[in-house]
Chains A and B, each alone.
Chain A
Amino acid sequence: MTLGTLELTVLLAVARLRAEAYGLAVRRDVSARTGREHSVGAVYTTLYRLEEKGLVTSSTSDPIPVRGGRARRQFAVTAAGQRALQDAQRVAASVWAGVGPTVTPEPA
């Protein structure tokens, strides 16, 4: 299964965060690692898309006062999600093979 860049980044964040993988934490992790502040809507759209693809599951917590009485939605990687990550890692390794630790820029 082919994953988009943000899908892969978000899925990796969910895998990394484990029990702490709820939307806000995922967004902060993705933003910190990509150096770009992703919107809450974009992250949740991606999380829901991953859930539709069967790569993550979600569950809701009890309502939390700081969230205006709204529940927190937590995500976890499924077996299919693990396989998708392994496939992505294999493809990335294949694509980067032979390039070396850094890409040398051409002289000016």
Chain B
Amino acid sequence: MTHLIAPPRTAERLLEALGAQPGFRDAVLGDLAEEFAYRAAHEGAGRARHWYYREALRATPHLLRDWTRHLTLRDAGHVAGAVLASYLGTLLLAGSAVALLAYGARGVLGVSLDDAAQRLPPGAVAGALILGTRGAMLGGYFAAALGGRAPLVSAAALGLVWSGVLVMAGALGGPPFERYPGGLVAAAAVLIVVGTMAGGMTRVGRAIPRQAGRRPDGVPRW
């Protein structure tokens, strides 16, 4: 029996998570898998993988386009609900963290959080950006978990909402943004988008598919 080399599973899962209709999605992914197997047998697994990653990138806009063409109100509601729930969840988490820091600053240092922030060394900004990115990853993870047919779209939407709010707040110059340069706010916005996408991809990579969606040979799907 010929041993079939499977295509890169994570890349396959990411393509599956773009929300295209099952018929279109399976046709595209099936062809990618079949061509991958042919190339692996004739050119080697390494070159076949390189080809697959390149073709997966080229297929992404078409899969997304298929998702948008068949977008129903229910799908849009699903994405909006996932984004709202994750947004509120991460806002609650961030708010709790700020409240805890404020309590700590008042209790330990005897100063307000604002005063404590001004005394922090420059490296603390980098630390805050890293923490913020990790928070974004968490948000993206949950947005993808709640995102239904298009988990990566939900994660990306959350990233855009969060970064949009951050950029608007930075543009308005209210506290605490008045002391930070615009470039830093923009960098934070970019990191948030990257973080939510990374969180979404992590969720997709780990997802346990539903029982109702198994192929005849037992291979699971969304």
Contacts and interface: CB of A to CB of B under 8 A. Distances in A.
A13 B23 CA distance: 21
Interface string A48-88: 10000000000010111111111111000000000000000
A7 B32 CA distance: 21
Contacts, number: 81
Interface in A2-51: 23-24, 27, 39-42, 44-45, 48
B217 A63 contact: yes
**Interface size of A as a range:** 20 to 34
Contacts of A67: 29-31, 33-34
B58 A70 contact: no
Interface stretch (B59-67, B134-142, B189-197): B59-67
Contacts of A70: 26-27, 29-30, 33, 215
Nearest to A24: B31
Given A63-B215, A67-B33, A68-B6, A39 B55 contact: yes
B4 A65 contact: yes
Contacts of B23: 60, 73
A40 B6 CA distance: 18
A67 B219 CA distance: 11
B62 A68 contact: no
B28 A41 contact: yes
Nearest to A61: B30
Nearest to A62: B216
Nearest to A39: B58
Contacts of B37: 66
B217 A40 contact: no
B75 interface: no
Given A48-B24, A68-B12, A69-B216, A24 B63 contact: no
A73 B55 CA distance: 19
17 contacts: A23-B30, A24-B31, A39-B62, A40-B59, A41-B58, A41-B63, A42-B62, A44-B28, A44-B31, A48-B24, A48-B66, A66-B4, A66-B33, A67-B34, A69-B216, A70-B215, A73-B27
Interface of B: 4, 6-7, 12, 23-24, 26-35, 37, 55, 58-63, 65-66, 215-219
The 7 closest A-B pairs by CB, nearest first: A41-B62, A70-B30, A67-B30, A39-B58, A41-B59, A69-B215, A69-B217
